[in-house]
A and B are shown apart, each in its own frame.
Chain A
């Protein structure tokens, strides 16, 4: 039970960790100051959520590791985030499309997690959902602006969606820990909101005059710890200090 719960928490928190890290790369390089500040806020929200989850994970494993050990001391195969969040900041269209595809799912997920039998998880979900509700509004607004903005922006964001769409299905993939936690009434059965998820995407993409990409083939692997080639480099940065100066406090 503990092992499954631990892995279940990683599955949730690693998404926020890696996406927070990706957004952190952007800080200081946004299209203008206002947007830069907004994206940093999202990153800060996500990393704050990560801390809550990992503090809880540290408590239940009780093996002396703290939130930072869990965040930074694992091997690549032990990270359980979906592939979507590790996709690079190719341009602002990719950043917003990635955010949007994640936010809509994140919101629906937290709505269900609020009902978890695990009171800590439901309390965290309760706090996070307000932040994520804002994130999905922010990213949806930007998808509309980019989609229905100029011809250039339309093409760029359409390309971004075409490239990122194959990563959406994995948001609903259930690994062993997911299944075990659903059985316990702790975890969220994501299947129940899969239709809603795609309907919401369609609704915004329609408004943004964008086409739903026609994809028959989807990517998965992250939730089983099999990541894209980007992941190694993300961890190079994330774990830089731990690798260079082992066993020190900062």
Chain B
């Protein structure tokens, strides 16, 4: 089968102080090109100050089938949230 340019995921920091956020994907033959293409495709309207690209195949993703065991156990750990604790209303700065 004929080989094609691999898929890359693009992450853009829209301004300093913010995290890089997933913007979308594109095809490129190499990392340099992926960066250049990302610049041309995803920051045409001044959307970014920094770009990360990573080849899609290098991302390991959790499987939604395991969502039960992965994420549900956190649901009832309410003691991790401040509202779990009773403090009288007149206590300030807490």
Contact = CB atoms under 8 A, between A and B. Distances in A.
Contact of A38 (B5, B27, B32, B37): B37
Contact of A37 (B5, B29, B32, B41): B41
Chain B interface residue number, banded: 10 to 19
Contacts of B41: 34, 37
Contacts, number: 25
A41 interface: yes
B32 A34 contact: no
A145 B28 CA distance: 12
Most-contacted residue by chain A among B29, B36, B41 (CB, 10 A): B36
A41 B28 CA distance: 17
Contacts of B70: none
Interface in A24-72: 32-34, 37-38, 41
A138 interface: yes
B72 interface: no
A32 B32 contact: no
B92 interface: no
B44 A34 contact: no
Contact of A32 (B5, B40, B44): B5
Contacts of B27: 32-34
B26 interface: yes
B40 A41 contact: yes
A38 B33 CA distance: 10
A32 B29 CA distance: 12
